[in-house]
Amino acid sequence: MTPFHEQARPTGTTSASTAVAEAGHEAAPQVWDGMTVEVALSVMASARVGHLLLCDDDGRCTTLITSAQLATVRGSAAYTDRVRLGDVLSGRGLLSPAVAS
């Protein structure tokens, strides 16, 4: 299982977008790209949040991913239970450009 931790105010957050910067002020689970979509949705449900902060190898939160994006992925024809968050964000055809942005 991919480790994750919750932190109310992440320190050293380098945001890749305004959404990540804004989400940094809210309590949100921080996860890594090796987590599967199913586990990520479960983490969101357990934490009662609508998004996760995706962190890089240095532990900096770089991307915000929402439950709506993951639900779109789960409903796509390319979806399997092995799809990981890194696959979703790398543009492997799982998210349309409109949803990815």
Whole-model pTM: value is 0.66
SS3 66: strand
SS3 30: strand
For the chain, which domains are there?
Answer: 13-76 (3.10.580.10)
pLDDT tens string 45-80: 999 999 999 998 888 998 999 999 999 999 998 899
